[in-house]
């Protein structure tokens, strides 16, 4: 490259930040793209051995010339997209995780398949070019990200970011997809060669400033899925499994003819035979029935179909491909580190039954609600609740799984058999979970009430703020009304069964409270009215605060300040000491701010069901211990909450944003120094309250603020945000993509 990153002259100088690294690499984006365009032009216009034959086709040659003529615009597109992706953290791994999922593959059109293969080929070219310099850069950038171990997937400057930017620029300036397919791989090769130099110079620069590289993580383990990622070595998968063939299998184009052996003898409902206690007798008779002599087996050349599409015998190709898909799916499950060895052994015992089913019923691949898919999904998902064989309830779970594998060995394997097995398992587990389910429903009802109260309190707070405009009221009274008392009024309205708009008169009480604490000139009869009003006012306010479980420390602090103001108002300034105390209370910083109340809500609202284990979270107990602790946490969070209030719920918040957890997600939470495996079983409609359930039905409920705090401190880790079986099938689709790239090469 013409521009070098260079090395530091003074190793003792300040080390560069991650932002400095990103900025330095982005400064090289323009010359990087210029080198790519120059390389394409030379290859198209060269003569002799340097001429690229594929570039001599008129459409391709013209496209390259146009790219060079508009090099400025092409470079701008590349730089803009690269900048966007880099500052978004490198973007998402769209090739494998987003645009290529097993379930969506049957909906892909030819153009979408070509685009996925096109991007994969480009990434492969760049990966081969930077293979020797990228690990060092990953190690140094991981350190700057704060990791002790190398995290290549978190590197905002990883190669696929440059590849996606290149693809974006070509897509904008080369509209012909066929021409773009010819250009993308050579362009990626040129990009990779120059990117290799950049990674080396970046590493030299960072090392010269004293940045220490992170250490490798043992093995090539996928941090998200826990799978080992061992390449498939089976010959059939490399020759038969491609995206196009996999899509045909999912859409039924490779369906094999169904064997008629049992179609007219097995009843439509095995459950009926179970009720009549005759299922086993029928199976024995069918197995003992003489069978027709099988047709002579023809020798099969597994390599005969490489590079060809099946024409004469789609059934044979479909059967072979189906076997490969099932085999790879179980291989991936066997490598998944989240599944315990005993669970993997039982899944292995079930594999032959799934193979037999897939041969006769191709719906297993295309229908995610197929009973066989659901059986495997329910078993693997439920197994994530356990981290060891010694966990409570694991023995009962394994007993049900073992009975399931034996069930499949003794039955005619078809969709109905798996359907009956699914009903049997769910009945067993439902009986075990009955008590926990009832408690979860009660907790969810209480938490939903808490969220509704927050929504109503938000509106009441806005009303109180508007009412206080222009009035000379102490800050602590203003904050108290807007936070704690808004919760009191909201709770009273939600709990009222007779439809009254102001039960207990808590809303009307606000006017009396505000009048009693205003700084105002002496009014005739004001002291006498205050004497008559104050006892009843304080009594009703105490009752309201007790109704929402407001912390006694904060309650006492508020009433101490309030009574001080009332004494000064009654004495009308005649007692200098009382007036001085009132002035001090007036000027004192409020202890009833938004952040303090929100942290109190974190610890109170989620306990309303009476059975949550939330107080055990060590990071969230201080705010219920003392007013001083609440104030300290309030000061720490005040700036964050001012910018983005946690309970800003004028409009429903989207419950399933990309960064949020979905119901069904398995996590590990650190509670009292120990890691607990739990599943997100409920979230409120506005996604402000969440409930996780661990083994035995124990629930851990928390607010959004607490959830974000735990995730930021790495005391809540996501174990699986998608079904394990879906990830295994997605792995099959990704292997098909790799094989498609190899096939086109």
Q: Which domain holds residue 530?
A: 450-643
Residues 143 and 226 in one domain: no
Residues 256 and 345 in one domain: yes
Residues 611 and 697 in one domain: no
**Domain for residue 11, yes or no?**
no
Which residue do the tokens 């960064």 mark?
A: 659
Residues 179 and 225 in one domain: no
Residues 328 and 418 in one domain: yes
* Cα Rg of the chain (Å, integer): 34
Q: What is the pLDDT of residues 624-641, one digit of tens each?
A: 333 343 344 333 333 333
Are 128 and 192 spatial neighbours (Cβ–Cβ below 8 Å)? yes
What distance, in Å, lies between the first and last C-alpha atoms of the chain?
Answer: 29
Residues 390 and 469 in one domain: no
Give the whole-angstrom CA distance, residue 254 versus residue 338.
34
How many Å separate Cα 263 from the centre of its chain? 44
Burial class (CB in 10 A: 0-12, 13-18, 19+), 384: buried
Residues 125 and 204 in one domain: yes
Which residue do the tokens 């058999």 mark?
A: 417
**Domain for residue 266, yes or no?**
no
HSE on the CB side for 604, CA within 13 Å?
22
pLDDT score at 126: 87
Residue 528: its H or E element: helix 526-547
Residues 715 and 731 in one domain: no
How many distinct structural domains can be found in the chain?
Answer: 4
**Domain for residue 13, yes or no?**
no
Which 8-state DSSP code applies to residue 612? B
Residues 610 and 730 in one domain: no
pLDDT score at 27: 92
Burial class (CB in 10 A: 0-12, 13-18, 19+), 479: buried
Continuous H helices in 145-223: 159-173, 177-208
Last residue of a domain, one of 643, 677, 704: 643
**Domain for residue 157, yes or no?**
yes
Q: Is the pTM of this model over 0.75?
A: no
**Domain for residue 309, yes or no?**
no
**664: phi > 0 → left, psi -120 to 50 → alpha, else beta; which?**
left
**Domain for residue 393, yes or no?**
yes
Give the whole-angstrom CA distance, residue 374 versus residue 168.
39
Q: What is the pLDDT of residues 269-287, one digit of tens each?
A: 334 334 434 444 434 443 4
**Domain for residue 301, yes or no?**
no
Which residues in the chain land under pLDDT 70? Answer: 1-14, 46-50, 89-100, 103-118, 217-239, 243-244, 247, 252-316, 499, 520-524, 589-659, 740-745
E strands, 70-208, in order: none
Residues 626 and 680 in one domain: no
pLDDT score at 629: 38
> What is the 3-class SS of 143-164, one letter each residue?
HHCCCCECCHHHCCCCHHHHHH
pLDDT score at 93: 42
Written as six digits, the tokens of 561 are 């300040």
Question: Quick one: which of 677, 729, 683, 686 has its CA closest to 702?
Answer: 683
Last residue of a domain, one of 208, 229, 245: 208
CATH number of the domain to which 716 belongs: 2.30.30
Q: Would you say how long the chain is, in residues?
A: 745
Residues 471 and 581 in one domain: yes
Give the whole-angstrom CA distance, residue 39 versus residue 50.
11
**Domain for residue 72, yes or no?**
yes
Which 8-state DSSP code applies to residue 414? S
Residues 584 and 563 in one domain: yes
pLDDT score at 262: 36
DSSP string, 298-309: PP--TTTTTTS-
pLDDT score at 78: 93
């Amino acid at each position: 490259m013409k521009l070098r990153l260079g090395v530091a002259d003074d190793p003792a100088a300040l080390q560069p930040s991650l932002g400095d690294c990103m900025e330095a690499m982005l400064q090289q984006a323009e010359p990087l793209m210029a080198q790519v365009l120059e390389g394409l032009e030379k290859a198209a216009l060269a003569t002799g051995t340097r001429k690229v034959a594929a570039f001599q086709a008129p459409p391709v040659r013209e496209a390259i010339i146009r790219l060079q003529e508009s090099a400025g615009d092409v470079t701008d597109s590349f730089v803009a997209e690269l900048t966007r992706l880099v500052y978004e953290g490198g973007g998402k791994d769209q090739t494998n995780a987003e645009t290529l999922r097993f379930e969506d593959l049957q909906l892909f059109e030819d153009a979408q398949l070509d685009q996925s293969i096109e991007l994969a080929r480009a990434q492969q070219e760049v990966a081969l070019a930077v293979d020797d310099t990228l690990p060092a850069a990953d190690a140094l950038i991981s350190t700057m990200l704060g990791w002790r171990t190398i995290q290549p997937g978190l590197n905002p400057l990883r190669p696929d970011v440059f590849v996606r930017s290149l693809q974006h620029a070509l897509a904008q300036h080369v509209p012909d997809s066929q021409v773009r397919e010819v250009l993308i791989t050579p362009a990626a090769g040129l990009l990779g060669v120059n990117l290799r130099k950049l990674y080396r110079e970046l590493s030299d620069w960072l090392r010269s400033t004293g940045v220490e590289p992170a250490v490798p993580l043992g093995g090539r383990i996928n941090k998200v899925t826990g799978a080992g990622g061992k390449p498939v070595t089976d010959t059939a998968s490399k020759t038969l499994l491609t995206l196009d063939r996999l899509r045909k299998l999912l859409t039924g184009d490779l369906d094999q003819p169904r064997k008629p052996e049992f179609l007219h003898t097995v009843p439509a409902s095995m459950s009926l035979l179970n009720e009549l206690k005759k299922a086993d007798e029928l199976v024995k008779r069918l197995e003992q029935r003489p069978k027709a002599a099988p047709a002579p087996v023809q020798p099969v050349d597994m390599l005969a179909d490489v590079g060809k599409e099946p024409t004469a015998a789609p059934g044979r190709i479909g059967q072979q491909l189906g076997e490969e898909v099932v085999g790879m799916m179980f291989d991936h499950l066997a490598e998944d580190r989240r599944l315990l060895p005993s669970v993997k052994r039982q899944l292995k015992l079930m594999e032959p039954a799934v193979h037999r089913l897939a041969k006769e019923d191709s719906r297993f691949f295309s229908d995610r609600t197929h009973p066989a898919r659901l059986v495997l999904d329910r078993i693997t998902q439920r197994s994530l609740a356990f981290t060891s064989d010694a966990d409570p309830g694991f023995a009962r779970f394994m007993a049900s799984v073992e009975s399931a594998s034996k069930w499949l060995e003794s039955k005619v394997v078809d969709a109905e058999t798996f359907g009956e097995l699914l009903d049997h398992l769910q009945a067993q587990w439902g009986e075990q979970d009955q008590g926990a389910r009832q408690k979860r429903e009660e907790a969810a009802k209480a938490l939903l009430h808490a969220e509704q109260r927050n929504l109503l309190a938000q509106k009441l707070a806005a009303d109180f703020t508007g009412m206080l405009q222009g009035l000379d009221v102490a800050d602590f009274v203003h904050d108290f009304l807007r936070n704690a008392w808004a919760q009191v009024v909201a709770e009273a309205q939600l709990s009222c069964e007779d439809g009254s708009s102001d039960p207990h008169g808590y809303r009307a009480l606000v006017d009396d409270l505000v009048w009693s604490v205003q700084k105002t000139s002496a009014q005739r009869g004001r002291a006498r009215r205050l004497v008559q009003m104050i006892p009843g006012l304080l009594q009703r306010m105490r009752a309201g605060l007790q109704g929402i479980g407001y912390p006694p420390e904060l309650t006492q602090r508020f009433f101490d300040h309030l009574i001080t103001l009332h004494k000064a108002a009654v004495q009308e300034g005649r007692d200098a000491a009382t007036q001085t105390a009132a002035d001090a209370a007036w000027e004192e910083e409020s202890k009833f701010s938004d952040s303090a109340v929100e942290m109190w809500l974190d610890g109170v609202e989620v306990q309303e069901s009476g059975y949550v284990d939330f107080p055990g979270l060590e990071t969230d107990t201080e705010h219920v211990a003392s007013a001083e602790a609440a104030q300290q946490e309030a000061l720490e969070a005040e700036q964050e909450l001012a910018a983005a209030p946690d309970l800003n719920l004028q409009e429903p918040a989207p419950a399933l944003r990309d960064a949020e957890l979905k119901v069904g997600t398995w996590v590990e939470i650190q509670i009292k120094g120990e890691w607990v495996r739990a599943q997100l079983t409920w979230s409120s409609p506005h996604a402000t309250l969440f409930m996780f359930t661990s083994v035995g039905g124990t629930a851990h409920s928390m607010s959004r603020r607490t959830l974000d705090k735990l995730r930021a401190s790495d005391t809540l880790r996501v174990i699986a945000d998608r079904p394990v079986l879906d990830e295994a099938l997605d792995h099959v689709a990704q292997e098909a993509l790799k094989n498609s790239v190899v096939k086109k090469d």
